[in-house]
Each structure stands twice: as C-alpha cells, then as structure tokens.
Chains A and B, each alone.
Chain A
C-alpha cells in the first residue's frame, strides 16, 4: 500500500562487500569494453591491410573508389534517388493497405467468406512465386500494351509492380502475427461488446503488428533496395542515373555511390524501429536480468 506521507528515504552507505562487488563489476565492464575495442581495431586493420596490399588494389581503387568521379556523379544520382524515395513512399502505403486487406481476408472465418479467403490465398501463392523482375516486365510493358491507359510514366508501373509483389509477402507476415495473438484477447474484446471488425482493428492488429515489426521492417528494407529495379523499365532512378554516369566516365564509382546512398536511406528507418520496439517492450513487459 503506498503511503504518500512517508518521508523520502536515504540510501544507506554501501557496505564493504557491496563496494567490492561494484568494483569487480566495473573492472569486468572496463575489461569487456577494452576487449571489444581492441578486437574491432585488429579486425579493421587486418581487412584494411589485406585490401590495400592485394595486387590489383590500385586498379580497383581507381575504378571503384574515385572521389572525383563520385563528386561529379553525385547530383544526378541524388536526383535519381529522389525518384526512388517517391516510389518507395507510395509503394509502402500501397503495400500496407493491400497487405492488410489480404491478411484480413485470409483470416476471415465463416463459410460466406470462402471465395475471398480462397482468392487471397491464390494471390499470395502466385505473387510470392513470381520473381519481382518478371512482375515488373509484365506490368511495365504488358499493361501499357493493352492501350487502355494514356501515357503513364514508367515509375508508376514500377510502383504498381512493387505493391503487387510485396503485398503478398507482407500479408503473410501480418497473418502470422494475427494468428499469434492469443485467443483470450479476442474473447476479452468481444465480451466488452466490440464487434469482429473493431476487435480486429483495436485489439488484434495492434498486437499483431508489434509482434511482427522486425519481420515487416525486413520486408521494408528489402523493398527499399528493390525500388532500384524500376530502372529496368527505363525510369531514371538512382541506379539508372549511376549507370548513365558509368557509361560516360568508364568508371564504376557511381555504382558504389548509389550503394552508399541506399544504405544511408535505409539506416535511419532500421534504427528507428529498433528503438521503437525496444521502447514498446520496456513499457509493456516487466524486466528481469535474465
């Protein structure tokens, strides 16, 4: 029972035993930091020395890590990356919507929904099976060939292809999350008078998404890279821009540059989700040192 009028308590001075334990832990901590720094340095030096001393290093350095070429290619590659970011933005929204709908369709119960369940199952089987590159070709060159649509830029077709493929993956991840939520949660929610849809939206999905956030992030980062594949449709994205620069300069550095930019693009998102999941875990679960 809390007793608010109780005066704040002072921590007593630690005993000799406790001071000794703390000193030991500090030494252990110091030692493990020293070991980790030491081993990292040794590792980095070994790789660096091995690389620089390899016979072809001078050639590789010239054609892959040339600062001048990188600076020259930077404006066009970064402009291409902006297109990637736009495509990624719309594709992520599309995947979130279509993926959730598919996942829900697959978890619906009741005989009326059989065709829907069935259609969703076929869809996910199909689009997880086809290589993304094929989907890109079929959507990017096949659909415009129908002459039903006016002039649509290649990146729009690319976005659609990405949505089609990634929704299939994401829906399966979400479905696993939905099914991992304990049935007692549904019971508790329904007993409050919340209907099927509200139970799904307010109780089941939030828990499901939290459980599969790492897997979803995996798919997101994977899509972030696959956005570069829209270059096969002729859209001038970062990869395509780099390719053009490579062709002009006979130097592969623009590719390396594009690679670094893609990493820079995904890194904040990865850190953000790590931080978010750690926080949610701290908030909802009691700790313990094991």
Chain B
C-alpha cells in the first residue's frame, strides 16, 4: 500500500444495511485512498453490490456514515444528485440508454448535469471513444454493439465527467469470456491513469492483477483484507480459504 494520504477519497465508517429482517451489511469500514484500486470479493449475497449502491446513494444506509472527500454523503441534508455527479458508476448490465447513440450516451452528464457546451463535451467524448478504441462507433446505437463494446462505452460514460471515485459493479459478469479481456484491459489502463476505483468482481485473476487491496466480504462483514498476494496466496482466515478453494474447484 502507498503511504497514507492526508484524506481518503472515500471513507466508509461502520455502515449497516438491512432488508427487512435480513442484515446485508453489518458494520463495514473501508477507506479508499487517492489512486487506489480496492477490489471487493465474496459470494453472491455477501453485500458487495449493496455496499456499492449505498455509496452511490441508491440505497439509504441504516447506520454508519460514508464520506466522499470531506462530505458526509449519508447526511440527509446533502443534495444526493450533486453527490452522484461526483461518483462514476459502471453496472453489470451496462445500462446504456438505447435511444441515444454512443456519443450522446457518453456526453449526456457533461452537457445536462455540468452544463458543458455540446461542442466541448463532444470533443472530450470523441477523445474518450478514441481511447477505448471505439471512435468509429460514435453515431451507432448501443444495441448494435457487442457486449464488450457496450461495457467499454459504459465505462467511458462513467469517466467522462472526471469523477472522484469510480464504482464498478461486476462489470464483466454479463460478458462472454472472450470479451472480458477488452474490458479488463481498459480498467487496467484507467488504473495506470490514476483513477480511484472501488469494484466488486468475481474475476479473481483480474483482482490479483489490478488491485492494490482486496477485501473479502461474507454475510455483510469484512472477513479479511490485504494485498492480493496476501489474500490469494496466504489467506489467514479459514472462511477466506474455503471461499477461494471453492472458486478453484466449484465441485469440491
């Protein structure tokens, strides 16, 4: 881990979340420093996605606080839309807008949330599309693109407004194995460019390669957290070992 920065970009402080009588998050504490890539792993239902949703204020927390920079974003007095504007999100199912072509998808937030002029927004949008290798698709509609291309566009849309932190929620789970590579290459490129990211994934080989820190969640609790080498090669907790063993051999 890099030496401690003055203030973390994202600080999750004792977050609890319940769905009815079911606890989903039971006291989660995570800090994400600038330029850091933190990867959440864990079985389905361990709370990874819910945690990302609470950060983007799509789900209210039942206790605890979340800070984005200096702002307590769980304070009901804050303007939720403004906070969401500072966070980029990429979803499992891309969630591109099917009635807009690719360039409009990418530039929508700049133009309509931040009031950037269309010409300026589109120039930036074209640069982004160039970077993700889809410059020739600018005027195509999302449904015409392959899954991998759609997800790359979704990533471009999320970073078009230079968010302070990028949340990636199982972004390769809906993709064919041969399309996973192109998306993951893009994420590695973002990491090299200094983006701060918090991501949930099932893709362990990728977590190993891109993560600064890996956090293993089970039943809404952090079981273990550490560098990828430590988590994958020398897990301390028996629960982590069991989870990883099951991944290696699902029939075990």
Contacts and interface: CB of A to CB of B under 8 A. Distances in A.
A151 interface: no
A289 B76 contact: no
A247 to B, nearest CB: 56
Contact of B63 (A6, A18, A289): A18
Interface string A1-44: 11100101101101101100100110010000000000000000
14 contacts: A3-B219, A6-B219, A11-B18, A11-B23, A14-B63, A17-B63, A17-B65, A18-B62, A18-B63, A24-B77, A288-B53, A288-B59, A289-B59, A290-B80
A21 B64 contact: no
A3 B219 CA distance: 10
A24 B76 CA distance: 7
Interface string B193-236: 00000000000000000000000000100000000000000000
A179 to B, nearest CB: 15
A21 B45 contact: no
B63 A12 contact: yes
A9 B80 CA distance: 31
Contact of A15 (B23, B53, B63): B63
Contacts of A18: 62-64
Nearest to B61: A18
Interface in B63-116: 63-65, 74-77, 80
B61 to A, nearest CB: 8
A120 B167 CA distance: 51
Interface string B155-174: 00000000000000000000
Contact of B74 (A12, A21, A288): A21
A18 B61 CA distance: 9
Contacts of A12: 16, 63
A2 to B, nearest CB: 8
Interface string B1-23: 00000000000001010100101
B58 interface: yes
Contacts of A28: 76
Dominant secondary structure at the B interface:
loop
* Interface SS majority for chain A: loop
Contacts of B219: 3, 6
B60 A289 contact: yes
In the complex, which range does the number of interface residues on chain A fall in?
10 to 19
B167 to A, nearest CB: 15
B58 A15 contact: no
Given A1-B45, A289-B59, A15 B77 contact: no
Contacts of B21: 8
Nearest to A1: B43
Contacts of A289: 57-60
A181 to B, nearest CB: 14
Interface in B19-60: 21, 23, 26, 43-45, 53, 57-60
Given A17-B63, A28-B76, 18 more contacts: A1-B43, A1-B44, A1-B45, A3-B219, A6-B219, A9-B23, A11-B23, A14-B62, A15-B14, A15-B63, A15-B64, A17-B65, A24-B77, A288-B58, A288-B59, A289-B57, A289-B58, A289-B59
Contacts of A2: 45
Contact of A25 (B45, B58, B76): B76
A56 to B, nearest CB: 50
A290 B58 contact: yes
A8 B21 CA distance: 9
Nearest to A290: B58
A8 B18 CA distance: 13
B117 to A, nearest CB: 27
A48 B26 CA distance: 55
B187 to A, nearest CB: 25
A177 to B, nearest CB: 18
Of residues A6, A8, A11, A288, which shows the largest number of chain B Cβ atoms within 10 Å of its Cβ? A11
Question: Sorted from nearest, which 3 A-B pairs have the closest CB atoms?
Answer: A18-B63, A24-B76, A9-B23
Nearest to A288: B58
A21 B63 CA distance: 9
